[in-house]
Amino acid sequence: MSEQLNENILTLKGLKVQFRVGRRLVKAVNGVDLNVRRGKTLGLVGESGCGKSVTAHAIMRLLPKAGFIPEGEVTYYSNEGTVDILKHNPKGKTLRDLRGRQISMIFQDPLASLNPVYRIGDQIVENIRQHNRVPKEAAMKRTVEMLKQLSIPQAEKRVLDYPHQFSGGMKQRVMIAMGLINDPELLIADEPTTALDVTIQAQILELMQDLQKKLGFTIIIITHNMGIVADMADDIAVMYMGKIVEFGSKREIFLNPAHPYTKALLKSVPVLGSGSNSRLEPIRGNTPDPSEMPEGCTFAPRCDFAMDICKTDPPNFDVGGGHMSRCWLCKGGNGQ
Amino acid sequence: MLKYFFQRMLLLIPMVIVISLLAFIGLELTPGDPLTAMLSPDQMSSMTTEELDAMRESLGLNDPMLIRYGRWVINLLKGDLGISVMSGSPIKDIIKNLLPATIILTMVALVVSTLIGLILGIFAAIKQNSIVDYLSSVLGVLGISIPQFFIGILAILFFAVRLQWFPAQGRTDIGLNFWQSLKYLVLPSFSLGITLTAALMRHTRNSMLDVLNKDYVKTARAKGLPEWKVYTFHVFRNAMMPISVMILLRLPMLIGGAVVIEQVFGYAGIGNRLLTAINASDYQLVLIIILLLSIVALFASVLIDLFTAVLDPRVRLGSSKNQGGA
Amino acid sequence: MAETAAVMEQRKPKKSSLAKRNTERFLRNKLAVMGLLIVLFVVVLCLIAPLLTDYDPAKISLSERIQAPSSTHLFGTDKIGRDVFARVLYGGRMSILIGLSGAIGGMILGVIIGSFCGLYGGWLDSFFVKVAELVSSIPQLLLVLVLVAIVGQSMRNLIFVFIFTGWIATFRLVRGRFFSLREESFVEASRAFGISNVSIAFRHILPNCLGPVVVQLTLNTAGFILQEAALSFIGLGVPSSVPTWGNIMDAAKEIMVISNYPWLWVFPGVAIALFVLGVNFFGDGLRDVFDPNQM
């Protein structure tokens, strides 16, 4: 990585994603601005259905058929040049060349993510050979090495096995190996440990962090678990109803949360060593139906501090030091 | 793989035994006696009861059922299928002459309708919710709703009587004149296969759409694979698995349908002969034909099963094998 | 639990919101509604046959042999002067009766054996699984053919044969549902409260099978009507004295009839195709309502 490269590896500007469901239009992502710092880990947190996963799929241009991007800008700054991701055909050469080589993504359910009818070695080799002209044997050798790096025992033998012969945690390791095999610059992990046992979760996350130190890629980790971002992330973006409501460094978000939603989120989950009060409080009310979005601040109906002004959409306020919050409470600078 | 094949084949043996026993018992219960079919009423009335009994005795018709079944199985294994009481000719010859024709008819119908059904189904899935998709779904239901023999009759009227493209009735041996025999095959196999084509088309479409929603297809795209590779290697192969199961389930129907279609087209096959044999209460022949057709169906199902196993390692290796913890 | 309650609700005369939503979903499916209308149309026509035609389907009139369709004989007459229109209508009664009662009988048998095996398991269960495997591996038409040959040709026997071969799909369905629901918490909870197996089966598990079983019923009805037609056509179904759609088409075994007297076979053929098409559209629609994931 040379010095003149942009500090950010990925920037999103006003990204919107919508879905056509029957005759209805569901606005899943509603204008997301985001900067992902190179070599760091960004945690994208929020409740299920807030649009965090859709945002990730939009970056990869892997939205389902019903989904489309009416406006926005996604720019990827690689060492090979800058790519305006939304300007290209999602199935076209440019983006296909990017996917799997420069940007990799791993999904929530490792069981469903691996094709049941192919040996796992072949599935990883497929990714190598899609982007590099190497003989099959060499590709297989690299695969075995990578699986060893992910502490898969007897990797030479296991490459010949099929997905159903692996446990959940092992499958996710295979997925990570597949994602990292082409030495990508950006790894998007969409709830990578949600489907796994708690004890295995920690192992997988630790592995990802170790490999990041070794290989220097950037991670976007998508999760609803504040504990995971506390562990992994450098920066945190909190998403609610298709918008980033708060963005800041991990320290800022945990010690000095500005948005009432973030505060509620922190109170609702136990975070080890975060020093927050031990009593857990659930967030009042339910997330509204994305097809019937409330006017103004979308969190207002559930917010303890809702005011009249919340009927109008709050802009992004700088709370200080790049810490941004979309809440009228933050208008005068500091949130509290 | 070979082990799996032998396992499947071994499972066939008890099935074949039970089917043969059931067929034997069943036909024992049919009204009518081979003697009545063998002799004309005049001959019957001119013979005394003793003479008839003696004749039954000499044919072994008076022995206990289980003995007759046992004797029949032993003869069968020796390759002696017995004599058709109706025609007086050895059943072996009848089978040798007619079974291949029926198998050819069924195979042609199977292969052609599988190909067409798959192609149309894939097309409908790729063009989901388009007019093509809508039209093919209507045609699909239509195809499984029209009786095969009605299609056969319509085909005779249009393609044989009116257009005179193909012969309406009969069959030529494939060894005698290849092109001629093909001409005789077109209409019967088309009528026989149309239900399977329609059913496969519907099933392929749904199966493809199902697989397209799977995460591993997303993984394949996330690797940057071009769409044709995504479809060929990741979608199609997985979609084929439920489809081959469906072909398996439909196969007995196809063989049963052949009996009717042979009747419509006067196609000299084993099914046609089966009907004459039933009407003449020619036990031995009926028994052997049913047994053979069932065995053909069972064998074909094993073949398709093997195909599924080739496609799906979970079937081949057993899915409970979960090695190595996390 | 919610699902069970919902299915139970459906059976109450008062329309619950789920029943309403299901009805709406069904009505939105144009092909399914069309299918239901076709089925009703054909059934009503067959039932009011005496109002539509004065001809007796069995009355032979040698002076009116093989007449083309006309205003006196809407669908023409057959080789012995019987009115084809009357025969198609009255034959429809028989064909539908055979198909429907075979399917319903098979459904009842399948539900009974299926719930029995699902509840108690054991050797009886493995026995019936084997029987089902065996029966379904023999070409069904051959099986029906042999059975008809054994028990003799009559309408009642044909229905019995259909019941005998038609229980398997329902059996597998119900049994599978029992096995998967047995472990569900609401069933375990009922058991913990000391509620008997039988009442668990009736109150909790069977209502859960209702949808797929009804869909299977439509499939079987369509299948049996087609089979009856095929069997009667080859002369091994219902005795030719009783008019059914298949028996009427029996005439089309001769090329002469096929090419010169199409009214003898086109009308019953179209009647079968139309009715079965309606049943299949209807069944597809029901499946969408009961199990939207499957399509």
Residue in chain A nearest B319 by alpha carbon: A164
pLDDT tens per residue, range C57-111 = 777 777 777 777 777 767 777 777 777 788 888 888 889 999 999 999 999 999 9
A162 and B224: CB-CB below 8 Å?
Answer: no
Residue in chain C nearest B272 by alpha carbon: C234
pLDDT at B40: 61
In a domain, C56, yes or no: no
Q: Does residue B223 or residue B169 have the better pLDDT?
A: B223
Task: List the domain range (segments joined by +) for residue B28.
Answer: 2-77
In a domain, B90, yes or no: no
- List the structure tokens of C51: 């109002």
How many domains is chain B built from? 2
Q: Which chains touch B (3 or more CB pairs under 8 A)?
A: A, C
In a domain, A87, yes or no: yes
Residue C233: how many other CB atoms lie within 10 Å: 31
**What CA–CA distance (Å, rounded) separates C74 from C85?**
6
In whole numbers, what is the pLDDT of chain A averaged over residues?
85
Chain A residues with CB-CB distance to B219 below 8 A: 107, 113-115, 175, 178
A107 vs B218, B225, B322: nearest CB: B218
Using the predicted structure, report yes or no on whether residue C186 has a pLDDT greater than 70.
no
User: C217 near C110, Cβ under 8 Å?
Assistant: no
Residue B66 and residue B114 in one domain: no
Chain B residues with CB-CB distance to A139 below 8 A: none
In whole numbers, what is the pLDDT of chain C averaged over residues?
79
Chosen from C136, C141, C150, C253 to mutate, greatest number of chain B CBs within 10 A: C141
In a domain, B83, yes or no: no
- List the structure tokens of A71: 């406006």
Beta-ladder partners of A44: A222, A237
Using the predicted structure, report yes or no on whether residue C181 has a pLDDT greater than 60.
yes
Q: Does residue B27 or residue A63 have the better pLDDT?
A: A63
pLDDT at C8: 42
Q: Is A148 on the interface with B (CB under 8 A)?
A: no
Using the predicted structure, report yes or no on whether residue A236 has a pLDDT greater than 60.
yes
Query: Please, which pLDDT band fits residue B80 given cuts at 50, 70 and 90?
Result: confident
Residue B126 and residue B273 in one domain: yes
If you average pLDDT over residues C117-142, what whole number do you get? 82
CA distances from C59 to A87, A218, C73, C241, C253 (A): 78, 88, 13, 11, 22
DSSP run (H or E) holding C114: helix C84-120
User: C211 near C286, Cβ under 8 Å?
Assistant: yes
Using the predicted structure, report yes or no on whether residue C7 has a pLDDT greater than 50.
no
Quick one: DSSP state of residue A288?
P
pLDDT at B112: 92
C253 and B263: CB-CB below 8 Å?
Answer: yes
- List the structure tokens of B108: 């042609």
User: Which residue type does A84 have?
Assistant: D
User: A304 near A284, Cβ under 8 Å?
Assistant: yes
pLDDT at B32: 58
Residue A59 and residue A14 in one domain: yes
Beta-ladder partners of C56: none
pLDDT tens per residue, range A77-136 = 988 888 888 888 888 888 888 898 899 999 888 888 999 889 999 999 999 999 989 999
Residue A19 and residue A75 in one domain: yes
In a domain, B232, yes or no: yes
In a domain, B87, yes or no: no
Residue A128 and residue A224 in one domain: no
Query: Please, which pLDDT band fits residue C231 given cuts at 50, 70 and 90?
Result: confident
Query: Please, which pLDDT band fits residue B38 given cuts at 50, 70 and 90?
Result: low
Chosen from A101, A111, A130, A165 to mutate, greatest number of chain B CBs within 10 A: A165
Residue A199 and residue A285 in one domain: yes
DSSP run (H or E) holding A19: strand A8-21
Residue A194 and residue A175 in one domain: no
B278 and C31: CB-CB below 8 Å?
Answer: no
Residue in chain B nearest A168 by alpha carbon: B326
Chain A residues with CB-CB distance to B220 below 8 A: 115
B30 and C277: CB-CB below 8 Å?
Answer: no
Chosen from B223, B228, B233, B236 to mutate, greatest number of chain A CBs within 10 A: B223
Chain B residues with CB-CB distance to A170 below 8 A: 324-326
How many domains is chain C built from? 1
B215 vs A97, A101, A109: nearest CB: A109
Residue A193 and residue A151 in one domain: no
A116 and B216: CB-CB below 8 Å?
Answer: yes
- Only one residue has tokens 């798959």, namely B118
Residue B105 and residue B173 in one domain: yes
pLDDT at B250: 82
Q: Assign A190 to helix, strand or coil.
A: strand
C234 vs B263, B293, B294: nearest CB: B263
In a domain, A15, yes or no: yes
- Only one residue has tokens 């025969």, namely C87
A117 and B313: CB-CB below 8 Å?
Answer: yes
B215 and A165: CB-CB below 8 Å?
Answer: no
Residue A226 and residue A315 in one domain: yes
CATH code, domain carrying B283: 1.10.3720.10
Q: Does residue C261 or residue B99 have the better pLDDT?
A: B99
Q: Which chains touch C (3 or more CB pairs under 8 A)?
A: B
Using the predicted structure, report yes or no on whether residue C34 has a pLDDT greater than 80.
yes
pLDDT at C32: 84
Residue A276 and residue A165 in one domain: no
Chain B residues with CB-CB distance to C262 below 8 A: 157
Phi and psi at A239, nearest 5°, equal: -115, 140
pLDDT at C82: 77
Using the predicted structure, report yes or no on whether residue B146 has a pLDDT greater than 70.
yes
If you average pLDDT over residues C205-218, what whole number do you get? 84
Residue A246 and residue A150 in one domain: no
Q: Does residue C236 or residue C149 have the better pLDDT?
A: C236
pLDDT tens per residue, range B152-174 = 888 888 887 778 787 777 777 76
In a domain, B47, yes or no: yes
In a domain, B321, yes or no: no
A130 and B223: CB-CB below 8 Å?
Answer: yes
Beta-ladder partners of A103: A99, A186
How many domains is chain A built from? 2
In a domain, C61, yes or no: no
Chain B residues with CB within 8 Å of chain A CB: 128, 213-216, 218-227, 233-234, 237-238, 241, 311-314, 317, 319, 321-326
Residue A193 and residue A133 in one domain: no
Residue in chain C nearest B150 by alpha carbon: C269
Query: Please, which pLDDT band fits residue B298 given cuts at 50, 70 and 90?
Result: confident
Using the predicted structure, report yes or no on whether residue B233 has a pLDDT greater than 70.
yes
Chain C residues with CB-CB distance to B157 below 8 A: 258-259, 262
C154-165: string of b/e by CB count within 10 Å (b at 16+)?
ebebbbbbbbbb
In a domain, B320, yes or no: no
Chain A: closest CA distance from residue B229 (Å) = 10
Angle, alpha carbons B241-B243-B249 (nearest 5°): 110
Residue A305 and residue A252 in one domain: yes
pLDDT at B117: 92
pLDDT at B271: 87
Chain B: closest CA distance from residue A81 (Å) = 18
Residue where a domain stops, chosen among A163, A183, A203: A183
pLDDT at A64: 86
- List the structure tokens of A193: 């440990």
pLDDT at C295: 36
Residue where a domain stops, chosen among B48, B77, B106: B77
Using the predicted structure, report yes or no on whether residue A4 has a pLDDT greater than 70.
no
A115 and B238: CB-CB below 8 Å?
Answer: yes
pLDDT at C291: 65
B215-236: string of b/e by CB count within 10 Å (b at 16+)?
bbbbbbbbbbbeeebbbebbbb
Chain B residues with CB-CB distance to A200 below 8 A: 326
Chain A residues with CB-CB distance to B313 below 8 A: 116-117, 119, 162, 164
B219 and A91: CB-CB below 8 Å?
Answer: no
Task: List the domain range (segments joined by +) for residue A152.
Answer: 117-183
Chain B residues with CB-CB distance to A107 below 8 A: 215, 218-219
Residue where a domain stops, chosen among A167, A183, A199: A183
pLDDT tens per residue, range B195-211 = 999 999 988 998 998 89
pLDDT at C3: 42
C255 and B169: CB-CB below 8 Å?
Answer: yes
pLDDT at B323: 37
Residue B68 and residue B130 in one domain: no
Of B147, B209, B299, A194, whose CA–CA distance to C141 is shortest? B147
In a domain, A107, yes or no: no
Strand A218-223, strand A41-45: pairing: parallel
User: Which residue type does B2 have?
Assistant: L
CB contact residues (below 8 A), chain A span 11-70, against chain B: 60, 62, 64-65
Q: Does residue B110 or residue B34 have the better pLDDT?
A: B110
pLDDT tens per residue, range A249-282 = 988 888 888 888 888 888 876 655 545 455 666 7
CA distances from A20 to A64, A66, B125 (A): 10, 5, 19
In a domain, A257, yes or no: yes
Residue A254 and residue A147 in one domain: no
C230 vs B137, B147, B294: nearest CB: B147
Q: Which chains touch A (3 or more CB pairs under 8 A)?
A: B
Chain A: closest CA distance from residue B302 (Å) = 20
CATH code, domain carrying C209: 1.10.3720.10
User: A190 near A108, Cβ under 8 Å?
Assistant: yes
Of B157, B186, B147, whose CA–CA distance to B267 is shortest? B186
Using the predicted structure, report yes or no on whether residue A44 has a pLDDT greater than 90.
yes
Residue B27 and residue B171 in one domain: no
Q: Is A117 on the interface with B (CB under 8 A)?
A: yes
Query: Please, which pLDDT band fits residue B320 given cuts at 50, 70 and 90?
Result: very low
User: Which residue type does B271 have?
Assistant: G
Residue B106 and residue B182 in one domain: yes
Q: Is A178 on the interface with B (CB under 8 A)?
A: yes
Residue where a domain stops, chosen among A165, A183, A201: A183
Strand A81-84, strand A218-223: pairing: unpaired
In a domain, C19, yes or no: no
Task: List the domain range (segments joined by +) for residue C130.
Answer: 30-50+83-294
C141 and B29: CB-CB below 8 Å?
Answer: no
Which region among A52-61, A270-279, A285-294, A307-316 has the lowest average model confidence (pLDDT)? A270-279
Angle, alpha carbons A189-A193-A197 (nearest 5°): 170
